[in-house]
Structure formats: structure tokens, C-alpha cells
Amino acid sequence: MGKAQKYREYARSCELLIEKTEDLRVRARLRKERQEWLELAADHEAAERRVRLEGERPLDQDMTLSSLRAFERTRRAGSA
């Protein structure tokens, strides 16, 4: 199980505790904690996406004009 999923589970456990708790101060603290766990999950997923996309560059940065033309021909042939 990934870290983001674990963070979401912690947030879910906070949610369940909020439903069971009557003390308003405790509920407020749990809501804040829940939000922090959700933000951690989102930050972790964004970091993973950045790592995956680091190696990918737009085609026109690496291609010569002739290789770009060849790429376009194969792309058109594949869609026909």
C-alpha cells in the first residue's frame, strides 16, 4: 500500500472519530488533523507525478527536423 493511501486511511479514521465525538474542541482538532492528512496525501501524489514526468520532454526539444517529419508520418499512418 502506498503512502498516499495510508494518509487517506488516517484521514478516514479522523472522520470516523469526528462522528463519534461530542466535544466541539476535539472535533475541531480532528477536522484539522483530517485536513492535514489529506494534504499530505495530495502532496505525496504530486511529488510522485513530478518524478514520473521528469524524464519526459516535449518531442520538439529532442527531435531533428527529419526525425520530427518521420514521427508525424508514422502518427498519421497509425490514425488512418
pLDDT tens profile 33-53: 999 999 999 998 988 888 877
Handedness of CA 20, 26, 2, 57 (dihedral sign): positive
Q: Average pLDDT of 5-33?
A: 95
Closest CA to 72 of 40, 19, 53, 63: 63
Q: Is the pTM of this model over 0.75?
A: no
Calpha distance 22→11 (Å, rounded) = 18
